A and B are shown apart, each in its own frame.
Chain A
Amino acid sequence: MTAAADDRPTTRRPSWSVGLRARLTVAFLLVTLGSGLAAAGLSYVSARNAILDESQEQFLTQLRDNVADASSRPRTPSGDALAALADQVGLEDSVVVYADVGIGDGPLLDRIPAQLRRAVRERARLSFQRTVESGEPVLYAGTPVTTSNGVPTGVEVYARTSLAAQQDRIDGLTRQAAAVLTAAAVVAVVVALVAARSVLRPVRVLSRGAARLGGGDLGTRLPVRGNDELAGLVRSFNDAAARLEDSVTRLQREEANSRRFVADVSHELRTPLAAMIAVTDTVDDEAARLGGDGAAAARVLSTETHRLADLVENLIEISRFDAGRAELHLRDVDVRELVERTIATRGWSPVVHVLPAGQPDGAAPPVTIRADPRRLDVVVANLVGNAVTHGAEPITVAVAAADVPGVDDDCVTITVHDHGPGLPPEERQRVFNRFYKADASRGRTEGSGLGLAIAWENVRLHGGRIDVASSPGEGTRFTVSLPRRADA
């Protein structure tokens, strides 16, 4: 009923659908990146090892073969001979070592890792070691030289090669893997969005359909696509909507029937009642002559017949409202004048005071609005009549125009204030219900029980409203707010 309740479905729906889409996207992305990283990582490691193994193997073989070739001639290991050997090894960055003294590339000897030197010396086997020199990966290899029958000669040959080219190839692999992963991530996001869309579209359609159904469009049906769970949900929705529409239609038909019945009955009663009133008026005139019980009976008959006629007229009026056939005949009306005339006509002038708001001297300017004078008269008469009947004096009626603080610029208000016992809060809105009786113990009152309901309908027809304020001791205050232009 409140604004907050109406807003809730519209504010909740978008955030929910965004959440689901985001979750689907993240899940897709994680799965893709996870599997992609695992595959890329494995192939990267094996490719890197293959590249390194190949280049290392090649380098070591070259070292071993070159050293074997170079030392093919028997020589006395003199300085010259070793220098010649170093030359003949024919490897860039190589050094021949004899008894810890290097011949050839001297500075290279100091850079060779001590661990490699020790390993070559102690194991007497070909060994290699990778190090990183100022960011560049480097491969060192060393071999002892033995005679053909395996006797150590005390000569060692070390060589160094840069692995920068291999590093570049491996970096290229890394870049490729990163590019492929990025592309896969983009594809994953696109696929996730498409998947989320295909899942969320029926959900959104369903949600929109539910909102339309809630908004009163009972004919809402959604197309069923496919045969999955969502289709099942849509089918259930359609079934529920159909059943709802059926029962609402049946209720409406029954209500219309009963209203028509009331209207018909009222119309049928009208003619005999008119005849009865004519007769009772005659009897009333004769009552004085009857005297005693006869006169009292005649007066009761006359009063009740008039009340019955009023009730029937009210019922017919209500039926017109219900049927939507009530019409407004708009004219420029001075509200203050109309109120005064209504009160004067009904003979309430002695008990009801009309207050020209803010101007006690009575020289108030006219308050003119566009309204139907007959209906406005009914509104004022019903409200004031209600006050006269149920409230207590003093009863005041105030007409206020736009210059009164707290009143809308385009509104004119008529306030009827009595000083009766007041209404408890839970009763305040119910006073406009049909046949409402404030005091349940009172089976019967002078009123038809439809007066305030008719007033309410009339004000609503003008585009206005009636507010009730009441507190014990303060009495009850009915405030009618009418727009200056009823058709606006």
Chain B
Amino acid sequence: MTRLCSWVLAAAVLTVSACGIRPTGSIDAGPGARASWESAVVYFLHDGRPYPAVRPDLDSAGPQELVEALAAGPTTHEQDVGLRTEVPPSVRLVVDGDRLVVDSPGRLSRAALQQIACTLQRSVTVGVDHADCPVP
């Protein structure tokens, strides 16, 4: 009797679960949407973590200009959605052969370093691969 009941129960569960449109978890469906243009990206901080911001006007800019853009801070709208910067205006980037040297009068915070590393990693070919850049 118990066996029969469990069979009937299993059949009922199968039938019910096979019917209709069931909720799912999140399912990967391939690569995301891709725009048809290229653009430089700088990283500001959002909730303490680096977050990208598009700078089409800096498309062909060098590392120094990118760092300057970081020091200049987010736009008004970007500030409205909660972006900020920790890179101080006094920071300078010096190209020394095949090395980039960040020159700052004061001590740079870890977040500021992350901002610089992520921005440069995305924009120019440099050997900064340990930077903890969030994917977006």
Q: Give A residues with C-beta under 8 Å from B.
A: 41, 44-45, 48, 52, 56, 60, 63-64, 67-68, 71-80, 82, 98-101, 113, 115-116, 118-132, 137, 141, 143-157, 163, 166-167, 170-171, 174
Contacts of B38 in A (CB 8 A): 147-149, 151
Question: Across the two chains, which residue of chain B brings its CB closest to A140?
Answer: B26
**A136 CB → nearest B CB, Å:** 9
B13-21, B60-68, B94-102, B106-114: which lies at the interface:
B13-21
**B106 CB → nearest A CB, Å:** 27
- Distance of A98 Cα from B53 Cα, bound (Å): 9
B129 on the interface (CB 8 Å rule)?
Answer: no
- Distance of A141 Cα from B24 Cα, bound (Å): 12
**B83 CB → nearest A CB, Å:** 6
Whether the Cβ atoms of A127 and B21 lie closer than 8 Å is: no
Whether the Cβ atoms of B23 and A130 lie closer than 8 Å is: yes
Closest 3 CB pairs of A and B: A67-B33, A137-B21, A119-B26
Contacts of B37 in A (CB 8 A): 72-74, 147-148
A sample of 18 cross-chain residue pairs with beta-carbon separation below 8 angstroms, ordered by A number, consists of: A64-B32, A72-B36, A74-B35, A74-B37, A74-B54, A75-B56, A77-B78, A100-B82, A123-B135, A125-B29, A126-B28, A126-B31, A143-B32, A146-B35, A149-B38, A152-B41, A153-B41, A155-B54
Contact of A126 among B20, B29, B83 (CB under 8 A): B29
Whether the Cβ atoms of A76 and B25 lie closer than 8 Å is: no
Whether the Cβ atoms of A119 and B28 lie closer than 8 Å is: yes
Whether the Cβ atoms of B77 and A79 lie closer than 8 Å is: yes
Given known A-B contacts A68-B36, A137-B21, A153-B54, A144 and B136 have beta carbons under 8 A apart = yes
- Distance of A58 Cα from B51 Cα, bound (Å): 31
- Distance of A396 Cα from B38 Cα, bound (Å): 140
Contacts of B76 in A (CB 8 A): 78
**B76 CB → nearest A CB, Å:** 8
B90 on the interface (CB 8 Å rule)?
Answer: no
Question: Across the two chains, which residue of chain A brings its CB closest to B34?
Answer: A146
Given known A-B contacts A99-B51, A148-B38, A163-B21, A116 and B26 have beta carbons under 8 A apart = yes
Whether the Cβ atoms of B77 and A78 lie closer than 8 Å is: yes
**B57 CB → nearest A CB, Å:** 7
Number of A-B contacts (CB under 8 A): 173
B5 on the interface (CB 8 Å rule)?
Answer: no
B1 on the interface (CB 8 Å rule)?
Answer: no
- Map CB proximity to A onto B117-136 as digits: 1 under 8 Å, 0 otherwise: 00000100000000000111
Chain A binding site: helix, strand, loop or mixed by DSSP? mixed
**B32 CB → nearest A CB, Å:** 4
Question: Across the two chains, which residue of chain A brings its CB closest to B56?
Answer: A74
Contacts of B15 in A (CB 8 A): 41
Given known A-B contacts A123-B28, A154-B51, A68 and B33 have beta carbons under 8 A apart = yes
Q: Give B residues with C-beta under 8 Å from A.
A: 15, 18-39, 41, 46, 51-57, 59, 75-78, 80-83, 122, 134-136
- Distance of A181 Cα from B41 Cα, bound (Å): 62
Contacts of B35 in A (CB 8 A): 68, 71-72, 74, 145-148, 153
User: Can you add 10 more A-B contacts, CB < 8 Å, to A121-B136, A125-B29?
Assistant: A41-B15, A64-B32, A72-B36, A99-B51, A100-B82, A101-B80, A118-B26, A144-B32, A147-B35, A170-B21
Whether the Cβ atoms of A99 and B33 lie closer than 8 Å is: no
Given known A-B contacts A63-B33, A143-B32, A122 and B81 have beta carbons under 8 A apart = no
Contacts of A71 in B (CB 8 A): 33, 35-36
Question: Across the two chains, which residue of chain A brings its CB closest to B22?
Answer: A130
Which of B26, B35, B38 has the largest count of A CB atoms less than 10 A from its CB? B35
Contacts of B51 in A (CB 8 A): 99, 154
Whether the Cβ atoms of A143 and B20 lie closer than 8 Å is: no
Given known A-B contacts A75-B54, A100-B82, A143 and B33 have beta carbons under 8 A apart = yes
Whether the Cβ atoms of B19 and A174 lie closer than 8 Å is: yes
Contacts of B31 in A (CB 8 A): 125-126
**B21 CB → nearest A CB, Å:** 4
Whether the Cβ atoms of A148 and B36 lie closer than 8 Å is: yes
